[in-house]
Amino acid sequence: MKRRRQGEDLHIEFEPLGLGCGSPLGSSLLEAAREAGVGLAALCGGQGRCGRCRVQVISGAVSSPSTAEKELLSEKELALGFRLACQAKAHDDIRVRVPLESLTADQRMQIEGLELPVPVEPAVVTYDLRLPPPTLDDLRSDGSRLGAQMAKEHGLTDLYFDFELLRRLPDLLRGNEWSGSVALRGREVIGFLPKGQKSLGLAIDLGTTKIAGYLVDLSTGQLLTAKGILNPQIRYGEDVMSRISYAMKEGANQLQEAVVGALNELAQALCGEGGLEVDEILDVVVVGNTAMHHLFLGLPVAQLGLAPYVPAVSEALDIKARDVGLSIAPGGYLHLLPNIAGFVGADHVAMLLATGIHESEQATLGLDIGTNTEMTLAVGGRLLSCSCASGPAFEGAHIKDGMRAAGGAIERLRIVDSHVEYQTIGDLLPVGLCGSGVLDAVAELLRLGIVDEKGAMRDHPRVRRTDRDKEFVLVERGESGLGREIVITRRDIGEIQLAKGAVRAGINILLSEAGLTDSDLEEVIIAGAFGNYIRIESAVGIGMLPPLPLERFKQVGNAAGMGAKIALISKEMRAQAAQIARRVEYIELTNYPSFAEEFTRSMHLGPIR
Amino acid sequence: MKRRRQGEDLHIEFEPLGLGCGSPLGSSLLEAAREAGVGLAALCGGQGRCGRCRVQVISGAVSSPSTAEKELLSEKELALGFRLACQAKAHDDIRVRVPLESLTADQRMQIEGLELPVPVEPAVVTYDLRLPPPTLDDLRSDGSRLGAQMAKEHGLTDLYFDFELLRRLPDLLRGNEWSGSVALRGREVIGFLPKGQKSLGLAIDLGTTKIAGYLVDLSTGQLLTAKGILNPQIRYGEDVMSRISYAMKEGANQLQEAVVGALNELAQALCGEGGLEVDEILDVVVVGNTAMHHLFLGLPVAQLGLAPYVPAVSEALDIKARDVGLSIAPGGYLHLLPNIAGFVGADHVAMLLATGIHESEQATLGLDIGTNTEMTLAVGGRLLSCSCASGPAFEGAHIKDGMRAAGGAIERLRIVDSHVEYQTIGDLLPVGLCGSGVLDAVAELLRLGIVDEKGAMRDHPRVRRTDRDKEFVLVERGESGLGREIVITRRDIGEIQLAKGAVRAGINILLSEAGLTDSDLEEVIIAGAFGNYIRIESAVGIGMLPPLPLERFKQVGNAAGMGAKIALISKEMRAQAAQIARRVEYIELTNYPSFAEEFTRSMHLGPIR
């Protein structure tokens, strides 16, 4: 190993992001990460206290483990090369693997599911073709000519044409000198690509608040670009029910047009980043909850907004993208994964698909926590699902200083000796609390006995009485970007009690339907934007999640988006999704005898039932 | 049989039109027909001379045959009840069958193909269904619910939904108390009909000049209403080539929109007559020549207008009607029969299908005479087809006093002792000659030696010399509705020579390809508007058709429209049409070695080659 001198630039490479930089000898990996544009989480500001900047050194020499590292990492982890980026200093060119959980929110979304675990077998397949041009002795139509050549060169017969493609085919063939790639979906010819053009797919996770888009090369399954935007339907209502009400009063057209417009812009942006064109997109998979699914397709939602809340359709759909107004390749398709029920949609199916919960051989609980929390318990071959109205508190709504997970939101928080330590999104001045921050705050107050299991707040130097409430000051005015203190109130805690009570009641009912108790759960998989960023200890601490050893919990990020992606590149996965939807035993909680009782009991804070 | 008294009203019923009237004892059947609104042809004005008003008396007593009838009808015909309507007088309530050829043009079109010879087995089938409504214990989606009930009641599984129907399904089910008829096309659910609503089909013969529409009850195959309109694309060019040129210069959108708009109006009108709604139409079949086919669908026509004139597509197409802008049931389908070549289109396939020429065991020639004349020779299992540019003379264009087959057009003509007898469409004052009138005029002038085989006009009291031409006065100014004489000129005769030369050259080349001569032809089937109204003797007289015994000729009217109708109600017929298109050996005349020679030879007037 060559000895490096002080001041000499080393190369530090971060995987799987493919980002790197030159750094002076002796730099910390956290400094190098900032230089390279890798968003590593660091709650303590790089003091070796929070343990959030955990990375794995794959090659190259680094400094020996510090005392802090020995405290926060296990021996096994250290043996595997895991280090805290703020402590480990580069002595050589280094390759570092960054685990998903060590990344900040924004970057995490970009790289999720980069490595897809399924064989690439998309619904749309391309075949290279060269055709003999027509002559006076060969007067076959363009369609017959192409069909005959596909039979001759690729053994594919009985093909038929998408109508919009037919309208363009004569010009496409002549403009590309009778040579290119034929895009087939089953026996339908849906595209003719000039040489060198990619066949693209687009996977969309259509959330009530956020929309995530993933542009994929259909021939390799490779993720090309990814991007998240806000769902513009928000202006018609923050949550599902208010949008359904709007649609029932004013008609659903505006909502449909808004989301289709947003998806078209998203597709443009995703393609633009890769120097690609939207008309190279041949297949789209969209997942969302049942209401988002219906509003996107322009399906009626009245029956979804009134008991007994039934969807217009629950089966998977394959439709021409143009039929809903998506601007992709003229013959391009849109696939929608199946819905399970009015409040358990295709996004939950996609989550199950991506995490493999449906194939689990041990008792596994999968949750997607949000305004509605959908959950499925897999046990002994059964899939039991329900949905609970956990409310908008986890999205920062109905919380005095709550906010969305945007720049300046406190996303992590702990209280040490009456001192509040916190980390904000984007390392900006704090302006409020997003869901994970609220959850941490409640858990810390409960842990320290400042709040009791009924949610009452006892006296404390940071607790002050207001007009009709009490509040705990988290951030002093001088530190705050808000121009005043940032607080959490007794009422905020009540909102969290409602939310966690609903989630916990759902879990309890699924467990009791299966004849299980908490400790029978071998694995708890938590998906979704909110679930990805919460501190499990906090969620367990307040009693939202069962008191299990931490290693039984797994935070999987946007598993719905990952499910959309694997359904995009694999017909087998689409078939599995259909099976999942058929297998699920759906339990309607509003109709469940002991629900009210369970809910009331579950509102108590703390791990003991 | 009860004896009737003078003045007492008898009931005269005309079949298959279903029209009838009360008439005084002793009225002629022709008078009764006029009273009943039945358009019987009467060239001689009811003097028993032309023999055109032939009808068959099915029941009831009429007067004994007159001398004229004994002359113009065979003994066998008289024995079968055939009579001349102008001669036979009613002595009792009478039921009369009117043969197609005895009707005037307008009415003939209305009733063609009333009795369809194929079993009713449409592509779209309906099933009665009653569904259990959703309850808190039965939360299936509308789609799953309908699917499960179809499986239970009709044994139909794996159904999927048209997307536009899905958008309406929740309201349709709830608005009709969960009961109605499900319209299936294969495994696709394309409609849900309230109880008592018919499932309708629309067959369209999309001609360059005229569009004929037939509204059919899909469940019975019964024709409900029929109607003909002009093709509004005429304003972009009279013939196929000028429309292709227009589309190549200005784009094809206007032409597409014009014809789609016309079809939507036609559908409205057809439904309106029967008190029906266009959204009850679930399936449409359209046939037309290749250019009309492409312009209707918005397929590019540039490659159709330039050698080697290849269609974009020749296979049959099944597309959603909405994809071309047809306003029928939201999930309704459009089927297009296959094309054969650039100038032999789906209308010719439909004609072969309707006439069964493709199954003929004897040498049979089928022609569809128009601006382009398409023809097929069936012999020994082979189908040989070609197309010849016969020009617009048969449509009355490029003829000095020519006109379309509209009111006041002379459609029949003969010259007796220098006196011209004629019949006009609608019995109006003559204002010009339509194609069949021109053909009669040329044939009569040739028969009388006033015109020779090269088309030269010899002197005659009615022949006069004009600026650079000669002309024969057919109608004197006093008798004419034109304000001047109606004439046929030497140049007009030249136009007919070009037209008939092209047709005859085509026939000769097909015969020679098959190793046959004229007399080998066992049957000649003539289809199309023009072909339907011509006097065969005239066409044979000028040498356009081979000199065969008259009984070998059969005029079948709008066989293309009939073909569209049978394809509408029979999947088997659609399969046969596809086979026809595949079997045909197409001969491109512009590329055929002896074509120029054949054409020149065939321009001679008269029966001898």
Helices B346-355 and B571-583: angle between axes, nearest 10 degrees:
110
What's residue A110's pLDDT?
45
The three-state secondary structure class of A544 is coil
The residues, any chain, with a CB within 8 Å of residue B89's CB and separated by 6 or more, are B26, B27, B28, B29, B62, B63
User: How much of chain A is helix, strand and coil, in % rounded to 5?
Assistant: 35, 25, 35
Output DSSP code: residue B357. G
Q: Measured between CB atoms, which of A142, A164, A315 is closest to B143?
A: A315
For A158, the enclosing helix (H) or strand (E) is none
> Is pLDDT at A406 greater than 90 in this prediction?
no
pTM for the model: 0.79
**Look-up of token digits 């029941």:** B59
Comparing alpha-carbon positions, the chain B residue that sits nearest to A591 is: B136
Q: Answer whether A285's CB lies under 8 Å from A564's CB.
A: yes
Instruction: Give the lowest-confidence range in A85-89, A396-400, B167-171.
Output: A396-400
Contact list, A313 vs chain B (CB under 8 Å): 141-144, 161, 166, 169
A319: nearest CA partner in chain B: B163
Assess contact for B140 and A310: CB atoms under 8 A.
yes
pLDDT digits (tens, 9 = 90+) for B48-66: 887 888 898 988 899 999 9
Which residues lie below 8 Å from residue A48, measured CB to CB, with a gap of 6+? A66, A68, A69, A72, A84, A86, A87
Q: 3-state DSSP call for residue A576?
A: helix
Residue numbers in B near A160 (CB within 8 A)? 315, 317-318
pLDDT digit string (tens) for A108-155? 544 454 344 688 899 999 999 999 999 988 999 999 999 999 999 999
What percentage of chain B reaches a pLDDT higher than 90?
68
pLDDT band at B608 (very low <50, low <70, confident <90, very high): low
Single-letter amino acid code for the residue at B166? L
DSSP 8-class letter at B519: G
**Which tokens in the block code for residue A340?**
């399970």
pLDDT value, residue A1:
41
Each residue's pLDDT tens digit, B533-545: 889 999 999 999 9
- pLDDT given at position B383: 97
Q: What is the pLDDT of residue B105?
A: 58
SS3 B89: strand
Whether the per-residue pLDDT at B407 is higher than 90: the answer is no
The answer to whether residue A315 scores a pLDDT higher than 90 is: yes
Nearest residue, CB atoms, B141 vs list A164, A302, A314: A314
Q: What's the N-to-C CA distance of chain A in angstroms? A: 58
Instruction: Render pLDDT for A546-601 as a digit per residue (tens, 0 to 9).
Output: 999 999 999 888 889 999 999 999 999 999 999 999 999 999 998 899 999 999 99
pLDDT at residue A608, rounded to an integer: 55
Q: Would you call A163 an interface residue with chain B, using a CB distance cutoff of 8 Å?
A: yes
- Is the pLDDT at B159 greater than 80, yes or no? yes
Counting one residue from chain A and one from chain B, the pairs whose CB atoms sit within 8 A come to 145
For B:314-373, CB contacts with A below 8 A are 314-315, 317-320, 323-324, 339, 341-342
For B308, name the nearest residue in chain A, comparing CA atoms only: A136
Contact: B163, A591; criterion CB under 8 Å: no
Which pLDDT tens digit goes with each residue over B317-330?
999 999 999 999 99
What's the gap in Å between the CA of A472 and the closest CA on chain B?
44
* pLDDT on residue B8: 61
In a mutagenesis test of the A interface, which of B310, B336, B586 is the best target, namely the one with the most A β-carbons within 10 Å?
B310
Strand order across the beta sheet in which A281-288 lies = A223-230, A210-217, A200-206, A281-288, A333-336, A317-320
Integer Cα distance of B410 and B479 in angstroms: 12
pLDDT recorded at residue B2:
45
At residue A105, the pLDDT reads 57
Q: Does B147 touch chain A (CB under 8 A)?
A: yes
Q: Contact A114/A172 with Cβ under 8 angstroms?
A: no
Distance set, CA B443 to CA A554, B436, B496, B522 (Å): 94, 10, 10, 24
**Cα A433 to chain center, whole Å?**
20
- Among the listed residues B377, B600, B340, B370, the one whose alpha carbon sits nearest the alpha carbon of residue B507: B377
Both tokens of B584, joined, read 């045909």
Give the pLDDT score at A7.
54
Tell me what pLDDT residue A555 has: 86
Q: B173 to chain A: nearest residue by CA?
A: A312
Q: What is the pairing mode between strands B124-130 and B179-185?
A: antiparallel
Nearest-CA residue of chain B relative to A318? B163
Tell me the β-bridge partners of A185: A124, A188
Reported as a single tens digit per residue, the pLDDT across B141-157 is: 999 999 999 999 999 99
Structure confidence at residue B259 as a pLDDT band (50, 70, 90): very high
Nearest Cα neighbor of B260 from B225, B300, B227, B211 is: B211
At residue A5, the pLDDT reads 55
Band the pLDDT of A216: cuts 50, 70, 90.
Answer: very high
Return the pLDDT at A114. 39
Q: What percentage of chain A reaches a pLDDT higher than 70?
A: 95
Contact list in B for residue A342 (CB cut-off 8 A) is: 139
| Cα–Cα dist B237/A62, whole Å | 82
Determine contact, residues A259/A233, Cβ cutoff 8 Å: yes
- What residue of A is the nearest CA neighbor of B159? A315
When comparing pLDDT for B603 and B103, which is higher?
Answer: B603
Q: Do A315 and B160 touch (CB under 8 A)?
A: yes
Mean pLDDT value across chain A = 90
What 3-state DSSP class applies to A591? helix
pLDDT, one tens digit per residue, over A482-535 is: 889 999 999 999 999 999 999 999 999 999 999 999 999 999 999 887 887 889
User: B366 pLDDT exceeds 90?
Assistant: yes
Q: Region A432-447: what's the mean pLDDT? A: 95
Partner residue opposite A312 with nearest CB, options B143, B309, B313: B143
Residue B218, pLDDT score: 94
Which tokens hold the place of A305?
């907004």
Residue A175 pLDDT level (bands cut at 50, 70, 90)? very high
CA distance B381 to B358: 8
Cβ-defined contact of A141 to B586 (cutoff 8 Å): no
Distance of CA A285 to the CA centre of its chain: 15
Local structure of B354: helix, strand or coil: helix
Q: A204 and A286 in contact (C-beta within 8 Å)?
A: yes
Query: For A561, what's the count of Cα atoms within 13 Å in the CB-facing half-sphere?
Result: 29
Model pLDDT for residues A267-308, shown as the tens digit of each residue: 999 999 889 999 999 999 999 999 999 999 999 999 998 888
Containing H/E element for B226?
A: strand B223-230
> What is the per-residue pLDDT across B206-251, written as a single tens digit (0 to 9) for each?
998 889 999 999 998 888 888 888 899 988 987 888 999 999 999 8
The DSSP string of B424-459 is EGGGPPP-EE-HHHHHHHHHHHHHTTSB-TT--B--
